[in-house]
Amino acid sequence: MKQLKIAGMSLKYLLAIGLLTACNHDEPVTPTQKLVTDVSNQNAKISLLTRLVKNDQQNIQYVKSGKFLGKVSRVNEAPWSGYYLTYAYDDSSPSGDLWIHRKMYKSSNNAFIKEERYKVVNGLCVLSEDDYGSIHEYKYTPQGYLDEIKYNYQGNLLQSWKYTYTYSGSGQIYRLNKIERKKNGKPWINYNFTYKQIQDKYPLNNPLNIEDGKVDTYLPFFGNHSDLIIESITDENLETNKSVQTFYTGHVLNSDGLVISREKVKYATVSIEIFKYSDNWQGI
């Protein structure tokens, strides 16, 4: 059995300090003291074949052979969502660019719902599109971090996401500090991030939601990642002047330093998220 480490505050401790006492859903919830973190597993090495096979309610499969070995091939969404996603890879274009076809199907009868396509150039996703005229364009910093996303629909700019980073000064790491989101050219939502002093050994692409900028969580083509595990995300709605804070705490790490569970605290409600990894994953 693998050794387990708990990093941060437990649920009982959260309750004890009154973290869950906010009554107004729009009221930010703030811990009263600094989290205690565990860094004992940061030097552990993980296999190149290690893959996340369960992300809370999502089950993930991967390509089993060929040049795209280990890339995601299917994501079964939570049972209540009613759909699943498949991924196919094509680098046969004359330019050598990689196109990823992500298709959505209805779980009950496998009926096709829609397709989205991602264009990857020199290892970075530069564009995503669908059949309805929606296009997302992605730009990166000189250091290879996601810089800006623009969402156009039938030629009209509807939304944008601007990423800003804090230079850590250690190993030339840039840590995501804020995402500024605009709607119709006007400031809309700011997302602010804080971190635990624990290395993130299996970073996922999108700290927000797969629909935010169409940054697919499981496609490793959206640039470099921040080095640490996210502790909190504060959503500042500039239209309503209200903020919502989400805490991630009570992390349990296995002997490889990978997060296998954590507590998500939002709107004074706690949910437990479970993560599973494997070197012998299912796929096609």
Domain extents for the chain?
A: 5-38+48-278
Provide the 3-class DSSP secondary structure of residue 76.
Answer: strand
Encoded tokens for 175: 């840590």
Could you tell me which of 190, 132, 135, 134 has the C-alpha nearest to residue 161?
A: 190
Check whether 2 has a pLDDT greater than 80: no
Asked whether 195 and 232 are in contact (CB, 8 A), the reply is no
Classify domain 5-38+48-278 by CATH architecture: Beta Barrel (2.40)
CB-side neighbour CA atoms (13 Å) of 92: 3
Please, which pLDDT band fits residue 29 given cuts at 50, 70 and 90?
very low
- What does R_g of the chain's alpha carbons equal in angstroms? 20
Could you tell me which of 282, 281, 283 has the C-alpha nearest to residue 50?
A: 281
> What CA–CA distances, in Å, run from 260 to 98, 251, 263, 281?
32, 8, 11, 16
Asked whether 252 and 261 are in contact (CB, 8 A), the reply is yes
Provide the 3-class DSSP secondary structure of residue 105.
Answer: strand
Q: Give me the pLDDT at residue 161, please.
A: 97
Mean pLDDT of 117-139: 96
Q: Residue 197: in which H helix or E strand, if any?
A: strand 186-199
Exposed / middle / buried, residue 166 (Cβ in 10 Å: 0-12, 13-18, 19+): middle
For residues 240-265, one letter each, b for 16 or more C-beta atoms within 10 angstroms of the residue's C-beta and e for the rest, the string is eeebbbbbbbbbbbbebbbbbbbbeb
Q: Give me the pLDDT at residue 170, please.
A: 66
Q: Give me the pLDDT at residue 190, please.
A: 97
Asked whether 42 and 198 are in contact (CB, 8 A), the reply is yes
Encode pLDDT of 44-103 as tens digits. Answer: 578 999 999 999 989 999 999 999 999 999 999 877 789 999 999 999 999 999 999 999
Provide the 3-class DSSP secondary structure of residue 170.
Answer: coil
Residue 129's region, left for phi above 0, alpha for psi from -120 to 50, else beta, is beta
CA distance 51 to 75: 13
Residue 213's region, left for phi above 0, alpha for psi from -120 to 50, else beta, is left
Encode pLDDT of 176-228 as tens digits. Answer: 999 999 999 999 999 999 999 999 999 988 888 767 889 999 999 999 999 99
Task: Tell me the sheet residues that pair with 261.
Answer: 252, 274
